[in-house]
Amino acid sequence: MSEVIAKTSKLVAGVAVIIAVFAYIFFAFWQHLAENISLNLRKLYLRALLKQEVAYFERIKIEEIPSKMGEIFETVQSSIGEKYANLIFAVFTGIGGCVFAFTAGKTYTLALIAYLPVFFLILGTFGIMVKKIT
């Protein structure tokens, strides 16, 4: 019995290490992509600013442009690099868990089916809350 437990724990540890390595690569990719997109948007924004008429700069406070630009592009970068990557990771982790549950056996399948109504209830409640806020 202890041999089975040792073998199973080594297998779980190996899978955990593999998931950690690929998750690091995944999040590093999305962070790099977010930085590139943010840099390109900064360039486009600067070009658009330089094409403005002089009257535009007389109407606005020039001191606010760099801080506003920094805030906007920091928000874009964090949204793409962190939030979007986390969303994709969570969705595919959930799909992988469902596939595992249906292929692993009857016990896991029953546990998943019992949990799904609660999951959809929580998801629906969250959707309603987001709809009210926006």
pLDDT at 58: 77
Q: Indicate the pTM of the whole model.
A: 0.64
Question: Residue 99 to residues 21, 22, 28, 57, 115: CA-CA distances in angstroms?
Answer: 21, 19, 26, 57, 14
> 90 pLDDT exceeds 90?
no
pLDDT at 72: 86
Task: Return d(Cα 11, Cα 13) in angstroms, integer.
Answer: 5
pLDDT, average across residues 66-77: 84
Task: Return d(Cα 24, Cα 111) in angstroms, integer.
Answer: 30
> 134 pLDDT exceeds 80?
no
Query: Helix 106-133 and helix 85-104: axis angle, to 10°?
Result: 150
> 50 pLDDT exceeds 80?
yes
> 84 pLDDT exceeds 90?
no
Is the torsion defined by CA of 68, 73, 76, 78 positive or negative? Answer: negative
pLDDT at 6: 87
In the predicted model, what is the mean pLDDT of the chain? 87
